[in-house]
Amino acid sequence: MRLLAGEPGAREIREQLRSLRSAGRALRARPTHALYGPLGELLDAFGAERSAARDALAAALAANSGFSGAVLREGLRRGFSAWTAASLRELVELELRTGAQAATAAPPGRRTARELLGFETTATFLAGSIPMPTLLEVVAPLALRSPVLIKTSAGDRISAHRIAEVLAGIDRELGECVRVADFAGEDAACTQAACGAACVIATGSDESVAALRARVGSSQRFLAHGHRLSLEVLGAAALAPRELAGWAERIALDTSLWDQLGCLSPIAVYVVGADLAASARLASALARAFADAEALLPRGAVPASALARASFELAEAEMRAAGGSPVEVFRGSGASFAVVREADAALRPTPLYRFLRVHPVADADELLRALAPLGPQLACAGVAGFGEADAALAARLLALGASRVCRPGELQSPPLSWPRDGRPVLRSLAREVSSELRD
Amino acid sequence: MSADPARAELDARVLAWMHEAAAGRFARDEARFEALALDLFAFQYERCPPYRRFCEMRARTPKQLRCADQIPCVPTGAFKELALRSFPPERRVHVFRTSGSSGERRGELELDTLALYEASVLPTLAQLLFPDWPSGRRGRMRVLAPSADEAPDSSLSHMFSVLLRARGDRESGFDIAQGTLRSEELLRQLARAREEARPVALLGTAFAFVHLLEELERRGVAIELAAGSRVMETGGFKGRSRELPRDELHAWIARSLGIPRARIVNQYGMTELASQFYDSSLARPGEPRRKLGPPWARVRVLDPVTAEPVADGEIGSLSILDLANTGSVLAIQSADLGRRVGDGFEVLGRESGAEARGCSIAADLLLGGGAE
């Protein structure tokens, strides 16, 4: 990996954008089947039940991503499992029906209806070290015939290169439509150069996003994916003796994958309509499930700050228990996980790295009130145990701000069509245009 | 003095140490510390029921402890949840509260006497912030914080009030009123001190300094304060619109006020503690910068998993034993990371070593940025 830096790096990035513009001409001329075919192959290469590409990626990441090898293998397997050629076709059908046809079929000047066009170039600034989103950040712009520059994150200088290589192996010309740039996020010259793309996608913290937004002009498209959080909500039926352990295992899986660091990782479990004893049983079951999960999916590296924060929060919870509050603390050996059975719905800090709070709430109204401050940051909610009321609760969570509701155990396997942050996957990267000229 | 004879006896022993320090014997005495800490722990174990239960949960009772470092530490966050006092509620005479945004629960330190707090402040400041001032000398101090009259629940304002009363001259005073920096008056004061070649001690919160520095920039002026001037800043930027790394703040202060970096001192303190810690650069010039505190306070750097001390130079959680906390709990676990540096320590904040590996946002960030 060669880290670009300063003005020489910026020159190289401007050159990459020039070459992408050039490659884009051929890309835009491609017939539909010659575009979605290879992109589907790329998805299948990583999503197949047995995938050499995925195994190689997991192995390469194990050395420096901070995640354990088992978490990488299982996280990628589950994450990519629903991302297939078929799901790409469905996504295109769902979001680009008119645009896909018009962009390929109609010559300039003869378009008569609204259509969707990809930007001349797209630049994506990745963040963090969870590799899954990288594949989508490559596929989505290309599906709109927009060549893409991927700026890797300090935490993952590997995935984008690997994905680009696999794509080039499938279709060399399409591979020319992806460029990967490694440079430090603080490098102003390189960042400014990469922001020369017509469409800029920023991921990361509010500060990172704001810094990029300031570099993008008003004539460019700017799209941001900030940090988000997820949670799980269980109803009484999920707490029945025969159900409890199963849901606890699924929640522990959702949490353990990516060490609770992803936006689809739950930070808390809300138990609706159950008494304290039921939430205590769930907390206890979760502790057992986490201990089992640790054997299969060992936690990766944890920074001292997170360990210190977890220790602080656990001591604080124990102090509340000592003060008479019905709070209970479950610790994994070597601080490998923590579960805190809370006495109420009050939001409390979550240090992540497998630290889960279980909150009892009286009913859905109290749940929604408790979650109201999180609404804008909510990504996904895992819901189970409400019987026929599942759908009604899902609707209320979506109205609150979540962009996805699913079953516990499925949080880390989002469909390709998941409208992350409430935005369409492809359409948000497109220009919608119309012509009033008729044949 | 406390009506509780056991407490009165403990207070007297701690105060005696502070008075000795005020008289110039500002020296560590580990045997004295150990004896006092264990006696104080036994007292607080008896008088503070939530703390007693906390200790029992950890199987750390006075009979089981062999040294002060085994005393269970209470996280500062617990002061938001519980009344951690070792005296009856009717004896309460004062409350200090942690800062916090509106609606956020604030930690409370209840006090039945301010005597220890005040007795701890002055010798520590004399030793670590004013080591070049002869004992008893008064000098010019301007404070970028509200007075204790305006902010009676702020331990910082109380500390500044105590300091000004004891060591400030007639022209010393507070420059924040009704939440606003009175920059006109402050700049006039600083200009006058400069004309008189009188050194100034400029003391306040880090964020108030940012306001002052921005005001100077807006006016396009820089001030060259007289030789011997110094700055003490404290606190972070939680809930503020702007954050500034400490190094940058100090460089900006040096540039705009003409004060050498070695004379700019950061204070590390918290509402839950009666004692404070200061950068060593004034007290130990030429030595590596580190935090030093009074001999009746001990800072430990602990492994967050094992709660055992980490090796010198390694990063761990900061926990503090403060004998001046006779009325509450003497052993406090902070949310900060730090590392030992010689006979002192370095504060690394709460995020040091953290990598931005994921895209999840910890709920505390949504709740206002921290446990305190």
The pLDDT score that the predictor gives to residue B141 is 97
B:264-283 residues touching chain A, CB 8 A cutoff: none
User: Considering CB atoms only, which of B81, B334, B364 is closest to A323?
Assistant: B81
Please give the pLDDT value at position B353: 40
Q: Give the domain range for residue A208.
A: 6-227+418-433
Give CA–CA dist B74/B13, Å, rounded: 23
Chain pair A-B, CB pairs under 8 angstroms: 172
Same domain, A129 and A175: yes
Same structural domain for residues A261 and A138?
no
In this prediction, the answer to ipTM > 0.90 reads no
Of all residues in chain A, the one with the smallest CA distance to B304 is A308
Q: Specify the pLDDT at position B241.
A: 54
Q: Is B351 on the interface with A (CB under 8 A)?
A: yes
Are A222 and A233 in the same domain?
A: no
Instruction: Kindly state whether residue A423 falls inside one of the protein's structural domains.
Output: yes
Do A351 and A207 lie in one domain? The reply is: no
Q: Assess B355–A contact: CB distance below 8 Å, yes or no.
A: yes
Whether residue B363 lies within 8 A of chain A, CB to CB, comes out as: yes
Q: Are A45 and A95 in the same domain? A: yes
- What's the CATH code of the domain at A318? 3.40.309.10
| CA B278 and chain centroid, separation | 8
pLDDT at B237: 63
Q: Name the pairing type of β-strands A115-118 and A430-433.
A: antiparallel
- Domain CATH for A189: 3.40.605.10
Q: What is the mean pLDDT of chain A?
A: 93
Task: Considering only the beta carbons, identify the residue of B317, B336, B356 that sits closest to A127.
Answer: B356
pTM for the structure as a whole: 0.90
Would you write out chain B's pLDDT as a tens digit for each of its 372 residues?
677 899 999 999 999 999 999 999 999 999 999 999 999 999 999 999 999 999 999 999 999 999 999 999 999 999 999 999 999 999 999 999 988 655 667 889 999 999 999 999 999 999 999 999 998 899 999 999 999 999 999 999 999 999 999 999 999 999 999 989 999 999 999 999 999 999 999 999 999 999 999 999 999 998 999 999 999 999 876 555 566 889 999 999 999 999 999 999 999 999 999 999 999 999 999 999 999 999 999 999 999 999 999 999 899 999 999 999 999 999 999 989 999 999 999 999 775 444 455 666 555 555 444 333
Identify whether residues A210 and A285 lie together within a single domain: no
Are residues A267 and A356 located together in one domain of the fold? yes
Q: Do A129 and B53 touch (CB under 8 A)?
A: no
Residue matched to tokens 């304060």 = B225
Contact B353 A305 (CB under 8 A): yes
* A140 occurs within a structural domain: yes
Same domain, A105 and A207: yes
Put simply, the answer to whether B75 touches A267 (Cβ < 8 Å) is no
Q: Tell me, yes or no, whether A36 lies in a domain.
A: yes
Confidence at residue A100, expressed as pLDDT on a 0 to 100 scale: 46
Q: Are residues A134 and A185 in the same domain?
A: yes
Tell me which residues of chain A have a pLDDT lower than 70.
98-112, 438-439
Which amino acid, one-letter code, is at A396? R
Residue A292 in domain? yes
Tell whether B107 is within 8 A of chain A (Cβ): no
Q: Which of helix, strand or coil describes residue A203?
A: strand
B301 CB neighbours in chain A (<8 A) are none
Residues of A in contact with B272 (CB under 8 A): none
Question: Which positions in chain B touch A126 (Cβ < 8 Å)?
Answer: none
Among B45, B56, B357, B361, pick the best mutation site for testing chain A contact (most A Cβ within 10 A). B357
Burial-class residue B351 by CB neighbours within 10 Å (0-12, 13-18, 19+).
Answer: middle
As a residue count, chain A comes to: 439
Does residue A64 sit within a domain? yes
**B73–A324 CB contact, under 8 Å:** no
Q: Is A411 contained in some domain?
A: no
Using the beta-carbon criterion (under 8 Å), do B82 and A323 form an inter-chain contact?
yes
A contacts of B82 (beta carbons < 8 Å) = 319-320, 323
- CA-nearest residue of chain B to A208? B356
Q: Do A201 and A287 belong to one domain?
A: no
State whether A294 and A188 are in the same domain: no
User: How many other β-carbons are positioned within 10 Å of the β-carbon of residue B299?
Assistant: 21
| Distance of alpha carbon B212 from alpha carbon B233, whole angstroms | 12
Interchain proximity A318–B54, CB inside 8 Å: yes
CA pair distance B144, B122, nearest whole angstrom = 19
Q: Which residues of B touch A75 (CB under 8 A)?
A: none
Residue A270 counted as domain residue = yes
Q: How far is B363 from chain A (nearest CA, A)?
A: 5
Chain A residues within 8 A of B57 when measuring between CB atoms: 318, 321-322
**Res B99: pLDDT:** 80
Mutation pick from A319, A325, A342 vs chain B, by most beta carbons of B within 10 Å, is: A319
Do A223 and A250 lie in a common domain?
A: no
DSSP B1-53: --SSHHHHHHHHHHHHHHHHHHTT-----HHHHHHHHHHHHHHHHHH-HHHHH
Residue A310's pLDDT is: 94
| Minimum CA–CA partner of B303 in chain A | A308
Task: Please tell me which residue of chain B has the smallest CA distance to A352.
Answer: B362
Q: What integer pLDDT is reported at residue B165 of this predicted model?
A: 96
Cα–Cα distances in Å, from A325 out to A217, A322, B2, B45?
53, 7, 30, 19
pLDDT tens digits, one per residue of A106-121: 445 454 577 899 999 9
Token readout for A332 is: 């994994």
Residues of A in contact with B45 (CB under 8 A): none
**Structural domains of chain A, count:** 2
A297: helix, strand or coil:
coil
**Residue A1 lies inside a defined structural domain of this protein:** no
